[in-house]
Structure 1
Amino acid sequence: MMTFPNLHVASAALALTIALAGAASAEHLPEPHGPVILTVEGAIARTNGEGRARLDLQMLRDIGETTITTDTIWTAGTSEFTGVALDDLLEYLGAEGEEIDARAINDYAVTVPVADAVEGGPILAYAMDGKTMSRRDKGPLWLIYPYASSSTYRTEVIYARSIWQLDRMTVRD
């Protein structure tokens, strides 16, 4: 029987290359330095532990800030909401799914279609009129749609998706 000593070395090198390539493609997020205000799990590519992304306020700001000026059915007058655009957050996390199960601190839950995450669409607001939202003020996060921009955002379905005190999301197929 013929042996090929270099074949074993080549096989080991190939296996190591494949393993390293897989490790390199799994993108890891940095650890949060402040209090975690949002945890996202499910069909996402970027995580920082146990298959989920834990994000603090600064991490959300670093994804990119978006501002929406709109009225709401829950607040008086027009307000300026600042947060991360839902489409930017999902892209940043490498989310691939059809629906988002969004949950609030009090376990109120809604399902948001990933199709809602469009440019100029909803944001996860963490500030209203320049002030970081506390739990008493619908924080830490409030899914705000640009209600004033279009009648499509002024429906009972959209209002029902506008979850406040948001702190968890699961992206599902």
Structure 2
Amino acid sequence: MLGEMVAVVGMSLLVGTAAVAADAGTILQVTGRIAGETVALEHAELQELPQIELETSTVVTDGTHKFTGFLMRDLMENLRADGDRVTAVALNDYAVDIPMADFYDYDVIVAYSMDDIPLGRDDKGPLWIVYPRDDHQELQDIRYDYRWVWQLSRLEVQ
């Protein structure tokens, strides 16, 4: 599967900073220790990753919600990420370092919809890093809450 996704990603990705800036369809840019200097992903390309649904509560919404997206570890594996942390950056330049181990210890997803409604820029979208906080007591800690980056726009693998 990894080889297939790398081939798909390799054929469909824009590589290079100039290409990223010129592509209005890009919703996620990945840089750093990956296969390729800069990778620009559109929504359709991200949906080629295996999709997952996660039901959990958040500290910024009421009740439990169903999030749909892809596992962060799948993205990292498909881009051949080779680092021990990822800096996640939001559209408003909020940035936080996330240990790469989180993606393997927990089913951390990058969600593009909540309760079957696409996440818009006006409500935490188009992408939101979501942890399965209801499945693990240790995730109900403020240290993890800071890692829930909404309006995710960039990832830098370090």
TM-score (norm 2): 0.85
Inter-CA distance 119–151: structure 2 relative to 1 (3 Å threshold): closer
Instruction: Pick the aligned partner of 2:132 from 138, 146, 151.
Output: 146
Counterpart of 1:53 in 2: which secondary structure? strand
Structure 1 outlier segments of 4+, above 3 Å: 31-34
Aligned to 1:94: 80
Question: Matched residue pairs, number?
Answer: 143
1:40 counterpart = 2:17:
no
Q: Give unmatched runs, 5+ long, in structure 2.
A: 1-8, 15-22
Do the aligned partners of 1:126 and 1:133 also contact (CA within 8 Å) in 2?
Answer: yes
**How far off is 1:166 after superposition?**
0.5
TM-score (norm 1): 0.78
Do the aligned partners of 1:39 and 1:52 also contact (CA within 8 Å) in 2?
Answer: yes
Q: Give unmatched runs, 5+ long, in structure 1.
A: 1-26
Larger Rg over CA atoms: 1
Letter paired with 2:90: A
**Counterpart mapping for 1:40-59 below 5 A:** 40-45=30-35, 47=36, 51-59=37-45
Give percent identity, aligned residues only.
Answer: 37
Higher RCO (C-alpha under 8 Å, 6+ residues apart): 2
Aligned to 2:53: 67
- Tell me how large the CA RMSD over aligned residues is: 1.9
Counterpart of 1:136 in 2: which secondary structure? coil
Distance 1:58 1:116 in 2: 25
Counterpart of 1:40 in 2: which secondary structure? strand
Do the aligned partners of 1:29 and 1:53 also contact (CA within 8 Å) in 2?
Answer: no
